[in-house]
Amino acid sequence: MSAKILILGGGSGGLVTANSLYHIFKNRSNKPEITLIDKNQYHEFMPSYPWVALGYREPDEIRRPLSLLEKKGIRYVNAIIESIDPDKKEVKTSEGVFTYDFLVVSLGAELDIDKIKHYKEEAHHPWSLQGAMNLRRALKNFTGGKILIGVQGMYYRCPPAPFEIAGQLDFMLRAKGIRDNTEITIFHLTPGPLSNMGPAISTVIAEILNNKGVKFVGNFEFERIEPQEKKVYAKDGRSLSYDLLIMPPAHKPNSVVASSNLSNGNDFPAVDPETFRHIKYSDVFIIGDIVNPAINLPPAGVVAHFQAEFVANQIAVEIIGGYVGESFTPVAMCIMDFGDDAVLPMCEFTKVYKDLSGPPTCGVLGRGKEIRLVKEAFEAMWFANYLTK
Amino acid sequence: MKSEKLTPRQEEALKRLADLAVKLHENGIIDLLEQLSELSPKAISYLAEPRILKIGANISFMLHILEVINPTIFSVMMNNFINALSEEMTPEKMTDPPRATFGKMLKYMRDPDVQRALAMIFIFLKAFGASINTSAEQFKKMMDMMEKQFAKMREERSKRGIPIKE
């Protein structure tokens, strides 16, 4: 009988898991039944959300239907996941109950738009496709003033994104001829831009922001938005004014997982950081933003990508026996497009996440406008490889 | 379904494409491309090895150094330096290479050219020392930040039974 592999979530982690399993088993006779469930009909390439906000991409250019997976023999179910019961090995959805031999949970973080008071009315964000389109409309009507970009905490998808957005906005406003009457300011919890990644990256980003006249306010622990004053306050009493506020919404761990036995009353499920198997349920693998903050890995698609390949191989080993093709590589790279400049930073997190013994090893793999081409090539390759037409 | 007739130009292009496909097929290129295309989804994880990334970051930094050096200053200075060296280090002079005795050293120290070169070396040492200080401060800040984060993580992991590899 074929093994049943159930993948929850069609983001980076889920998509790469499904494709990796397809490649491992496509020429074998003992093919498992692979099913991917997602409430969305489309997979969206999240790194391009800022490009949608700035009008460089249209929504349909950065998404493809998950049903394309069916071409590879992967069953796709468009359903809302209602509950997970790891004791019964069952997942209840709006389209029925699914059982499994192996479960891969890659449901990502949830955006909690209502958590911060006045956020919904006052702030814009390119952390979803809808949010990106709303920001695009706001930017179209923007004629100058104060743009404030910041974060409400450290748990948000793609840590470099606020810096990238600031750089792109500078570029766009110069093209529109209104940069001289616009102030762009970033506030963040860290003392310097991306200083948690170390000086090798932070220095480069600080230099780019400085060249672009973008102000950085560090150690700013967000407290509240005051809509009447058009100000954002920090816990230490400092405040920053805005005419246009850009902030990622509060993120929270996935509520279905948080309410299941996988989380056992905690925010995040407990996994073995060596294998990403659940501590108690060894047939359950949990990857991506839904667990990474708890194991000291950044909430970024690239990390979920490498976890997904590793998990697919572990499952294959149990079905086939023997050889693990991929080990988990605790690295992250990200192409930061600043409009007329771009940076490709990289970090290796072995010491950070495994034994909690030291800082990440980071460096810059490339800098210059041409690096933007790498982002465009990666976007094209992503869809060609994982959602082939 | 209505079929659209190809234009003569399209027909010609398709024929050339077909001829090329036959050549590629006969030479085994299509076979090779088929095999290589299987590697495409794996390419990123193969290239994302920490070892390769570190080499890449270091090469990139070396290239950055070449980028920030002003080619006018660099080429003029290096040209003059090489010219001066060639004048001094002739085969005739190299048969009896000079030795820096204590007396000669004192004489060299009075030479304005040597004084300028020494000044440049001291400028270099000053900048190098300052960069060591700044780097030490930057690393200390980073280590303090990491240690705070690790203390929190250790407590959380031990509370929830998540192993920490020692």
Q: What is the pLDDT of residues A37-69, one digit of tens each?
A: 999 999 999 999 999 999 999 999 999 999 999
Residues of B in contact with A305 (CB under 8 A): 44-45
Side by side, the strands of the sheet bearing A222-226 are A222-226, A231-234, A239-241
- Structural domain harbouring A192: 116-250
Looking at the structure, tell me whether residues A198 and A92 fall in a common domain. Answer: no
Does B38 map to a domain?
Answer: yes
Burial of A237 by CB count in 10 Å (0-12 exposed, 13-18 middle, 19+ buried)? exposed
Sign of CA dihedral B155, B158, B161, B166: positive
Does B110 map to a domain?
Answer: yes
List Cα–Cα distances, B117 to B106, B110, B113, in angstroms: 15, 12, 6
Counted domains in chain A:
2
Residues of B in contact with A190 (CB under 8 A): 145
Does B159 map to a domain?
Answer: yes
Size of interface A-B (CB pairs under 8 A): 104
Percent of chain A at pLDDT above 70?
99
Side by side, the strands of the sheet bearing A244-246 are A123-124, A244-246, A145-150, A182-187, A214-217
B54 has a chain A CB within 8 A of its CB? yes
CA trace torsion A349, A354, A358, A360 (10° rounding): 0
- Per the CB < 8 A criterion, the answer to whether A39 and A329 are in contact is no
Residues of B in contact with A364 (CB under 8 A): 57, 60-61, 64
Structure confidence at residue A274 (pLDDT) = 86
pTM tops 0.90, yes or no:
no
The whole-number average pLDDT for the span A136-142 is 96
Q: Which of A198, A309, A331 sits opposite B53 (nearest CB)?
A: A331
Looking at the structure, tell me whether residues A147 and A201 fall in a common domain. Answer: yes
Counted domains in chain B:
2
Residues of A in contact with B162 (CB under 8 A): 270-273, 279, 294-295
Looking at the structure, tell me whether residues A132 and A236 fall in a common domain. Answer: yes
- Best of A346, A351, A383 to mutate (most B CBs within 10 Å, chain B): A346
Does A169 map to a domain?
Answer: yes
Indicate the residue among A285, A305, A320 that finishes a domain.
A320
Domain containing residue A207: CATH number: 3.50.50.60
**Two structure tokens written together for B113:** 């050219």
- Per the CB < 8 A criterion, the answer to whether A336 and A344 are in contact is yes
Burial of A263 by CB count in 10 Å (0-12 exposed, 13-18 middle, 19+ buried)? buried
Residues of B in contact with A309 (CB under 8 A): 45
* Segments of chain B scoring below 50 in pLDDT: none
Residues of A in contact with B45 (CB under 8 A): 305-306, 309, 326, 329
Q: What is the pLDDT of residues A177-200, one digit of tens each?
A: 999 999 999 999 998 999 888 888
A68 has a chain B CB within 8 A of its CB? no
Name the residue with higher pLDDT: A233 or A357: A233
Burial of A163 by CB count in 10 Å (0-12 exposed, 13-18 middle, 19+ buried)? buried
Going by the DSSP 8-state scheme, the letter that residue A326 receives in this structure is -
A356 has a chain B CB within 8 A of its CB? yes
Does A125 map to a domain?
Answer: yes
Does B60 map to a domain?
Answer: no
Structure confidence at residue A147 (pLDDT) = 98
CB contact under 8 A, A296 and B45: no
Does A223 map to a domain?
Answer: yes
Q: Which residue of B has its CA nearest to A23?
A: B38
| Minimal CA separation from A144 to chain B, in Å | 34
CB contact under 8 A, A363 and B61: yes
Q: Which residue of A has its CA nearest to B57?
A: A365
CA A362/CA A153 separation, integer angstroms: 22
CA A341/CA A353 separation, integer angstroms: 31
Looking at the structure, tell me whether residues A258 and A243 fall in a common domain. Answer: no
Looking at the structure, tell me whether residues B49 and B106 fall in a common domain. Answer: no
Q: Which residue of B has its CA nearest to A306?
A: B45
A273 has a chain B CB within 8 A of its CB? yes
- pLDDT level of residue A234 (50, 70, 90 thresholds): very high
Please check the confidence at residue A116 and state whether its pLDDT lies above 90.
Answer: yes
Indicate the residue among A225, A250, A275 that finishes a domain.
A250
- Per the CB < 8 A criterion, the answer to whether A135 and A126 are in contact is yes
Does A162 map to a domain?
Answer: yes
Q: What is the overall mean pLDDT for chain A? A: 94
What's the Rg (C-alpha) of chain B? Answer: 33
CA A127/CA A55 separation, integer angstroms: 15
- pLDDT level of residue A240 (50, 70, 90 thresholds): very high
The whole-number average pLDDT for the span A215-237 is 97
CB contact under 8 A, A279 and B44: no
Looking at the structure, tell me whether residues A82 and A189 fall in a common domain. Answer: no
Looking at the structure, tell me whether residues A246 and A258 fall in a common domain. Answer: no
- Best of A365, A374, A378, A385 to mutate (most B CBs within 10 Å, chain B): A365
Q: Which residue of A has its CA nearest to B44?
A: A306
Does B6 map to a domain?
Answer: no
CA A27/CA A31 separation, integer angstroms: 8
Residues of A in contact with B135 (CB under 8 A): 199
Does A362 map to a domain?
Answer: no
A57 has a chain B CB within 8 A of its CB? no
The whole-number average pLDDT for the span A85-90 is 97
Does A311 map to a domain?
Answer: yes
**Two structure tokens written together for A335:** 């192409």
Does B29 map to a domain?
Answer: yes
CB contact under 8 A, A296 and B149: yes
In 3D, which of A155, A172, A156 has the Cα closest to residue A214? A172
Q: In chain A, which among 6-45 make CB contacts under 8 A with chain B?
A: 19-20, 23
Does A388 map to a domain?
Answer: no
Looking at the structure, tell me whether residues B166 and B106 fall in a common domain. Answer: yes
Does B86 map to a domain?
Answer: no
Indicate the residue among A299, A320, A341 that finishes a domain.
A320
Looking at the structure, tell me whether residues A191 and A214 fall in a common domain. Answer: yes
Structure confidence at residue B14 (pLDDT) = 96
- Structural domain harbouring B112: 102-166
- Best of A276, A356, A364, A388 to mutate (most B CBs within 10 Å, chain B): A356
